[in-house]
């Protein structure tokens, strides 16, 4: 299978794509997906019934997401979670119906539709869990990010490295890049919550985060600390 | 310099993936295709370059990827 032409974030070299990747024909739709599209584009009672089935499908996905994450929201009651799942399904239904022409059959229709419901539910859950909370845009104290239980020599090394990073964050990044990096990467603010507070989009914020990280990596490499030597996979 | 695990994880979040990555919008656009390729055993990373790096760098997209994998997997299991 050839790689599709997927845009990389700027500032990093794109993976070379096959010359004809963007011209690859869309795969043929499976019968079930074709039937979803046909019935959703029908008129009258047939379309109404299809929209009802689609809403039920999206609600199933939203409930699935809410159940996965409800442990992180102990203060929410069952009714609140049901409401949230229903709102997510309603909003996902609007998105899916508005984007039917975007569905090209790269996956089954149901998988394509599910992602809208999961997104709506996940975003609502993140926002609900941060409702009424202050969004920290500055680190209180960089030393809190140091590891505990290291020997005195290791502790001194950590302090030195953290000071270097703190200085780089303060001097190399723009104020906006600094706020975004600190909030998202240090203080664990969900990207949708920050996007809401800063009146921007997830995509725009991630681009800012990406640019800030790239600047920081470059600066640390110039100081003799290539990022590969400092990090491990966070997950 | 060898960093302790807690500090390394903090640095990982601060410095992000070093490989080329796609953004959140492209990630969402490709997510359904990527997940179905993964679940069918095809090399999804070759088909969607930059997706894996983005999922390492973006906790929100990573959560939604995990959810879609679980949901579609559960649906496939129910269907068999």
ipTM of the complex: 0.93
Q: What are the sequence ranges of the domains in chain B?
A: 23-79
In chain A, the percentage of residues whose pLDDT exceeds 70 is: 84
> Quick one: pLDDT at residue A185?
93
| Minimal C-alpha gap between B22 and chain A (Å) | 4
Mean per-residue pLDDT, A150-163: 77
| Minimal C-alpha gap between A31 and chain B (Å) | 16
CB contact under 8 A, A146 and B7: yes
| Minimal C-alpha gap between A79 and chain B (Å) | 22
Question: Within the 22-41 window of chain B, which residues sit less than 8 Å (CB to CB) from chain A?
Answer: 22-26, 28, 30-33, 35-37
Contact B47, A24 (CB under 8 A): no
Q: Is B18 helix (H, G, I), strand (E, B) or coil?
A: coil
The tokens for A178 are 């600094």
CB atoms within 10 A of CB A143: 13
Count interface pairs A-B at CB distance under 8 A.
181
Does residue A2 surpass a pLDDT of 50?
no
Cα A40 to the center of its chain, rounded Å: 29
Alpha-carbon gap, residue A36 to A42, rounded angstroms: 10
Q: Read off the pLDDT of residues A49-74 as tens digits, 9 standing for 90 and up.
A: 999 999 999 999 999 999 999 888 87
Closest by Cα among A182, A154, A156 to A168: A182
Closest by Cα among A174, A204, A178, A210 to A192: A204
CB contact under 8 A, B1 and A230: yes
> Quick one: pLDDT at residue A115?
98
Confidence band for A116, pLDDT divided at 50, 70 and 90: very high
Mean per-residue pLDDT, A157-170: 85
Q: How long is chain B?
A: 80
> Quick one: pLDDT at residue A4?
52
Contact A224, A196 (CB under 8 A): no
Does residue A78 surpass a pLDDT of 90?
no
Which residues does chain B have within 8 Å of residue A220's beta carbon, measured at their own beta carbons? 15
Alpha-carbon gap, residue A153 to B80, rounded angstroms: 58
CB atoms within 10 A of CB A172: 16
Contact A234, B56 (CB under 8 A): yes
Nearest CB neighbour to B20, from listed A12, A150, A229? A12
Closest by Cα among B69, B48, B65 to A5: B48
DSSP state of B40: T
CB contact under 8 A, B5 and A232: yes
Q: Read off the pLDDT of residues A214-223 as tens digits, 9 standing for 90 and up.
A: 999 999 999 8
Nearest 10 degrees: CA dihedral of A219, A224, A226, A230? -100
CB contact under 8 A, A207 and B23: yes
Q: Domains of chain A (ranges plus CATH)?
A: 21-129 (1.10.1740), 142-230 (1.10.10.10)
CB contact under 8 A, B12 and A234: yes
| Minimal C-alpha gap between A47 and chain B (Å) | 24
Q: Read off the pLDDT of residues B5-50 as tens digits, 9 standing for 90 and up.
A: 678 888 899 999 999 999 999 999 999 999 999 999 999 999 999 9
> Quick one: pLDDT at residue A75?
79
What are residue A8's phi and psi, to 5 degrees? Answer: -85, 160
Alpha-carbon gap, residue A13 to A23, rounded angstroms: 21
Closest by Cα among A183, A188, A13 to B21: A13
Does residue A208 surpass a pLDDT of 80?
yes
- The whole model's pTM is what? 0.88
Does residue A233 surpass a pLDDT of 70?
no
């Amino acid at each position: 299978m050839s790689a599709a032409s997927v845009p990389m974030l700027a500032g990093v070299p794109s993976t070379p794509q096959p010359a004809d990747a963007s011209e690859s024909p869309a795969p043929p739709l499976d019968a079930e997906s074709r039937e979803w599209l046909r019935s959703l584009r029908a008129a009258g009672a047939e379309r109404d019934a299809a929209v009802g089935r689609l809403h039920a499908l999206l609600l199933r996905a939203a409930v699935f997401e809410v159940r996965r994450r409800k442990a992180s929201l102990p203060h929410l009651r069952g009714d609140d979670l049901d409401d949230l799942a229903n709102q997510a399904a309603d909003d996902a239904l609007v998105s899916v119906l508005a984007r039917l022409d975007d569905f090209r059959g790269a996956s089954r229709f149901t998988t394509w539709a599910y992602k809208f419901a999961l997104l709506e539910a996940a975003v609502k859950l993140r926002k609900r869990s941060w409702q009424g909370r202050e969004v920290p845009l500055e680190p209180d104290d960089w030393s809190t990010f140091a590891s505990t239980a290291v020997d005195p020599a290791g502790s001194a090394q950590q302090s030195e490295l953290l000071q270097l990073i703190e200085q780089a964050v303060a001097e190399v990044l723009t104020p906006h890049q600094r706020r975004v990096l600190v909030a998202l990467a240090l203080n664990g603010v969900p990207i949708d919550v920050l996007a809401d507070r800063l009146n921007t989009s997830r995509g725009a914020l991630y681009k800012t985060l990406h640019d800030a990280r790239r600047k920081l990596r470059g600066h640390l490499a110039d100081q003799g600390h290539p990022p590969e030597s400092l990090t491990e996979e966070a997950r | 310099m060898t960093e302790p695990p807690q500090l390394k994880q903090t640095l990982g979040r601060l410095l992000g993936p070093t490989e080329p990555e796609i953004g959140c919008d492209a990630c969402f656009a490709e997510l359904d295709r990527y997940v179905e390729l993964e679940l069918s055993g095809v090399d999804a990373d070759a088909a969607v370059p930059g997706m894996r790096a983005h999922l390492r760098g973006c906790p929100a997209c990573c959560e939604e990827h995990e959810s879609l994998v679980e949901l579609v997997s559960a649906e496939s299991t129910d269907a068999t």
